[in-house]
Amino acid sequence: METTSIVMVTQIENQRDTVLDRRAAKLAPPPMYQVVLLNDDYTPMDFVVGVLQRIFGKNEDEAARIMLKVHHEGRGVCGVYPRDIAATRVEMVRQLAHARQHPLQCVMEPAPDS
Ligand code: TYC
């Protein structure tokens, strides 16, 4: 092959590789974070159940189950989300708790195996 053709073929192959790299990057799932509620001695149980329903979309049974797990074990996962969504929900819990002067604590942490 003459030199010009070899250069052109190489350029086309490089462009194709770039497109494939971009596609692979787009398809990679985002890192996930779990939102965790922490126990305390003062926040009323029904407030925690309401938070789990309103902010995490749990039905009443599931919300009560998670609340009791936190009450007995000290912590419990409310949901697993991409970083921005997890951060927004943590902030919403903090604002609701602060508005009602409850010491409820909520944190986010990298989800195991994500
Ligand atoms: N331990 C609290 C109580 O006895 C209830 C509670 C549950 C508080 C879960 C916080 O994340 C929590 N009233």
CATH of the domain at 93: 3.30.1390.10
**CA dihedral in degrees (112, 78, 88, 25; nearest 10)?**
30
Per the domain annotation, does 85 fall within a domain? yes
- What residue numbers bound the domain in which 98 lies? 32-110
What's the pTM value of the predicted model, to 2 decimals?
Answer: 0.81
More confident residue, 27 or 82: 82
- At residue 90, the pLDDT reads 98
In ligand 1, the atom with minimum distance to the C-alpha of 105 is: 11
CA distance 79 to 85: 10
* pLDDT tier for residue 25 given thresholds of 50, 70 and 90: low
Per the domain annotation, does 61 fall within a domain? yes
Count of structural domains, the chain: 1
Per the domain annotation, does 59 fall within a domain? yes
- At residue 73, the pLDDT reads 98
Ligand 1 centroid distance, CA of 42 (Å): 7
State the average pLDDT over residues 79-95.
Answer: 98
Q: Which residues line ligand 1 (CB under 6 A)?
A: 37-41, 43-45, 48, 67, 70-71, 104
Per the domain annotation, does 72 fall within a domain? yes
CA distance 25 to 50: 39
- At residue 113, the pLDDT reads 78
- At residue 8, the pLDDT reads 40
Percent of the chain with pLDDT over 90: 74
Per the domain annotation, does 37 fall within a domain? yes
